[in-house]
Structure 1
Amino acid sequence: MSDAIKTYDSMSELYASFGGKLEQDVGFTIHRNEELFPNFPVKSPLFRTRFYTVLILSEGRGRYLIDDRSYVTRGNIIYFTNPGHLKGFEVDETLKGYLITFSESFLKQYVRDDILDEFPFLIAEVVPPNYPDREVFQIFDNLGGMLLQEYQSDSVYKHQTIGCLMVVLLLKIKERFWKAYDPLTEAVTSSNITLTFQRNLEAHFRDLLTGKCDRLLQVQDYAQAQYLHPNYFSTVIKYKTGKSVNSWIAEKTIAEAKAMLARSSQSVQEIAARLGFKDAGHFSRFFKKHTELSPLSFRQRITSE
């Protein structure tokens, strides 16, 4: 079933799947919801995106799906969703408000490189929708209006101005919604992330040892397997297990290497290749770093014992 789920790189690509056309550049869009989906009811297929979405909705009714959760869509609501999650939506009556999409690269280009440190919810799992009172909602609605005005302008400072306004929007999200939500302690899937990682780690080494794979997977590979940002994935694993992802990978690699050195007659070069190392010298340095012995010294000690 997952093979049939489309992943979209941009809002324009997603909208094209509905038969529409959007102009988009530099990883940012903002449009009025009533212009995007003037006809209803609308029910989307399940999909994934590689961009962030902020929905500022003043009126409307429908439903929004994120992974295995379903949220009611109504007036005075603010959604924030991250890349990678399985999504879908239903529109029962005209939605009024703003739909904002942007990429991580846009923020890093027009705000700053360490943007994820300032706004940790950009790498979290799922931030629940917020239903603020009218006064608070109006702040976000006004920001949506300013972003749209700048997006439609011909200013030579257009993208820089949008970047500044996005900082204000993200600060307001952080101020109003984020304090009460800690994804490490409240997200029901955080334990499943750890369990899935451990299973994926075991499965990967089985593939390595049976010749089905010839590359040692890294942090970003395991994060991508669960459609998570590598920073958030690493934080969850460290929080839940007390060990970093790299420590898990290293310990598993050393354990398998020791077993092969002790129980097989394969050369160090053959063992290195089997474990996904392209260079035997790299494998030897890695092994010595973690055991204080070279692979040959370890094998000789085991043999003598």
Structure 2
Amino acid sequence: MAKVLCKELMENDPRQPPEYSYFCPMEAVKLPKQILARQHEIVAEFIREVNKHVEDIAAGRATEMIEIRDFAQLMHIHPTHLSNTIKLTTGQAPCFFFEEKIMEVSRRLLSETNDPIANIAMQLTYDPSNFTKFFKRFQGLTPKQYREQVYREKMEAIAV
């Protein structure tokens, strides 16, 4: 459907000058360069805010995860516009960037600290059992298995 829609947009709007183009997941779509620049600016700002927020959660400076509408409010744009812009520009949903950063922080906390997994889960605003499911879905290992793997790799590196 997207391929057909993109193709129809190109074919049915000959008024667009050729220097205006943008990558669509399926085909090229004509968009003014100003809009293209703003889309990348929105995505970059969103990713900065996500990274900052998850680091604040990990450091204890924030106590609850915020949602896409809260990020949109911080950025002074509509949540639907934010979500659609991220999806169109990157091909990924906004939650992808959130989950990616949470996994990065989770792996760091599991490998660099001896904190109990339940404490890490609560620090990241998860119930321990939900954190284990979340972590395993993205890492392929439970947090305990991941920590043990990292420990074994460190011991092997020391032994060599």
TM-score (norm 2): 0.69
Correspondence for 2:101 among 252, 260, 263: 252
**Match of 1:189, SS?**
helix
Does residue 227 (structure 1) correspond to residue 76 (structure 2)? The answer is yes
Correspondence for 2:130 among 255, 276, 282: 282
Aligned residues: 124
Q: Are 1:272 and 1:280, in contact at CA under 8 Å, matched by a contact in 2?
A: yes
Shift of 1:248: 0.4
CA 1:229/1:302 → structure 2, altered by over 3 Å: closer, same or farther? Answer: same
User: Partner residue of 2:149?
Assistant: 301
Q: Are 1:260 and 1:271, in contact at CA under 8 Å, matched by a contact in 2?
A: yes
Gaps of 5+ in 2: 1-29, 154-160
For 2:113 and 2:68, the matched residues in 1 are separated by 29
How large is the Cα RMSD of the aligned pairs?
A: 2.1
The letter for the 2-side match of 1:285 is K
When Rg is computed on C-alpha atoms for both structures, the one with the higher figure is 1
Determine which structure has the larger helix proportion and give its number.
2
Q: Are 1:219 and 1:230, in contact at CA under 8 Å, matched by a contact in 2?
A: yes
User: Partner residue of 1:142?
Assistant: none
For 2:32 and 2:82, the matched residues in 1 are separated by 11
Shift of 1:185: 7.0
Extract structure 1 runs of 4+ deviating beyond 4 A: 181-185
Structure with more relative contact order (C-alpha pairs < 8 Å, separation 6 or more)? 2
CA 1:274/1:261 → structure 2, altered by over 3 Å: closer, same or farther? Answer: same
Shift of 1:182: 5.7
Q: Are 1:223 and 1:230, in contact at CA under 8 Å, matched by a contact in 2?
A: yes
Q: Are 2:57 and 2:64, in contact at CA under 8 Å, matched by a contact in 1?
A: yes
Gaps of 5+ in 1: 1-180
Determine which structure has the larger strand proportion and give its number.
1
**Match of 1:276, SS?**
coil
For 2:88 and 2:33, the matched residues in 1 are separated by 7
User: Partner residue of 1:84?
Assistant: none
User: Partner residue of 2:7?
Assistant: none
Matches within 5 A, 1:22-37: none
Shift of 1:242: 2.5
For 1:184 and 1:293, the matched residues in 2 are separated by 43
TM-score (norm 1): 0.38
Shift of 1:188: 4.8
